[in-house]
Amino acid sequence: MNSRPRKHSLTLRGHRTSVSLEDPFWLAFRQIATRNGRPINELAAEIDESRGADCGLASAIRLFVLRDLQAQLADQD
């Protein structure tokens, strides 16, 4: 698995964009979307709408993945 960021295409509210994410984050993001039965573009658009102006989309997705993992670990306790 490549640890360097790679560009991944998304469509947010009808507009094409791309994010640069490391493969492990992209894979985890896709798994979260699948687990929740949501299209990845829909989930990315939700994250995009809720992020602050000082946070890029790629960083917001990484933080989303981290929070999801933390919630899973807390549920195991």
**How many domains, the chain?**
1
In a domain, 40, yes or no: yes
Residue 1, pLDDT score: 66
What percentage of the chain exceeds 90 in pLDDT?
Answer: 87
Domain that holds residue 43: 6-76
CA 54 to chain centre: 17
Are 19 and 61 in contact, with CB atoms under 8 Å apart?
A: yes
Residue 43: name the closest of 23, 28, 24 by CA: 28
**Tokens describing residue 1:** 């698995």
In a domain, 1, yes or no: no
In a domain, 17, yes or no: yes
Query: Which pTM was predicted?
Result: 0.91
In a domain, 23, yes or no: yes
In a domain, 69, yes or no: yes
In a domain, 39, yes or no: yes
Provide mean pLDDT across the span 52-64. 95
| Distance from C-alpha of 55 to C-alpha of 27, rounded to nearest angstrom | 21
Per the prediction, the chain carries an average pLDDT of: 94
Confidence of residue 76 (pLDDT cuts 50, 70, 90): confident
The HSE-up count of residue 50 (CA atoms within 13 Å, CB side) is 10
Residue count (the chain): 77
